[in-house]
Amino acid sequence: MEATAEDRAPGGSVVAAQGLNLTFHTNDGSVHALKDVNLAVERGEFVSFIGPSGCGKTTFLRCVAGLETPTGGSLSVNGLDPDAARRARAYGYVFQAAGLYPWRTIGGNIRLPLEIMGFSEDEKKRRVRETLALVDLDGFENKFPWQLSGGMQQRASIARALSFDADLLLMDEPFGALDEIVRDRLNEELLSLWARTGKTMLFVTHSIPEAVYLSTKIVVMSPRPGRISDVIDSPLPKERPLDIRDSRGFIDIAHRVREGLRAGMEEA
């Protein structure tokens, strides 16, 4: 029988990793992608993962999503093992490329997971309308992806991940391919969406300002094998206008992230 929302431990961590290890075995040898990762993510947190290319950020997200199987340690998602959490539709996943089907309209793309999950026609309509409003894309339901800018496509992809109302959102560099101005705006919108919905966010980025601006917790990772080198609980207020990036508090955290990244590189 599939686990349901009622089966989940209400008070526990949304994500709990203890001594997590993952080694990939390939024809060229083995790659130790994650080493002794310990992390607890509480409900409603916004957690960013930052680190050099290849340090295991995507691999960690894929473990949470039940798409990779750790080779050691333990991992739970909403109190369930990741595979059970995946079957209970515990999370929405947003990738670097928006990944919208070009032959489906924006509404059709958002409807897809709802069709797979067997929602009623009325419910599908309601959810498409509501999630489009959440990402500020009202009126674009019948457009095709190519009729939207890159930033709008990425918002549609976020709407798709939100449509079935999972309380955990996994986002793998969703704004990495966008220019800085669009990215700034989407960062502001994402923060406001997070404040309105109370979702738990796991967010992978290469950008220090993006990580500091968005997060309540920043996980700094170092390469070969991927480890957590620092976890920073942000003292910044929840309300964050973009110009907070010029404040002393912001600059101090950015400095600590940079130092963490540098130390990790030197150890590697």
Ligand X SMILES: Nc1ncnc2c1ncn2[C@@H]1O[C@H](COP(=O)(O)OP(=O)(O)OP(=O)(O)O)[C@@H](O)[C@H]1O
Question: Would you tell me which residues interact with ligand X (CB under 6 A)?
Answer: 24, 26, 31, 33, 51, 53-59, 226
Which lies closer to ligand X via its Cβ, residue 3 or residue 263?
Answer: 263
Which lies closer to ligand X via its Cβ, residue 145 or residue 226?
Answer: 226
Interatomic CA distance for residues 142 and 164, integer angstroms:
20
DSSP 240: -
CB 119, min distance to ligand X, A: 32
Which residue, 264, 95, 258, 260, is CA-closest to 173?
Answer: 95
CB 41, min distance to ligand X, A: 18
Interatomic CA distance for residues 121 and 115, integer angstroms:
9
Which lies closer to ligand X via its Cβ, residue 31 or residue 263?
Answer: 31
Which lies closer to ligand X via its Cβ, residue 19 or residue 54?
Answer: 54
- Are β-strands 72-77 and 46-50 bridged in parallel, bridged antiparallel, or unpaired? unpaired
How many residues belong to the chain? 268
CB 209, min distance to ligand X, A: 17
Q: Cis before residue 223, ω within 30 degrees of 0? A: no
Contacts of 124 (CB under 8 A, 6+ apart): 111, 114, 115
CB 60, min distance to ligand X, A: 7
Q: Are 23 and 30 in contact (CB under 8 A)?
A: yes
- Are β-strands 15-26 and 29-41 bridged in parallel, bridged antiparallel, or unpaired? antiparallel
Residue 228: strand, helix, or coil: strand
CB 49, min distance to ligand X, A: 8
Which lies closer to ligand X via its Cβ, residue 58 or residue 105?
Answer: 58
**How many H-runs (helices) and E-runs (strands) does the chain carry?**
8, 9
Amino acid at 118: G
Which lies closer to ligand X via its Cβ, residue 33 or residue 37?
Answer: 33
CB 164, min distance to ligand X, A: 25
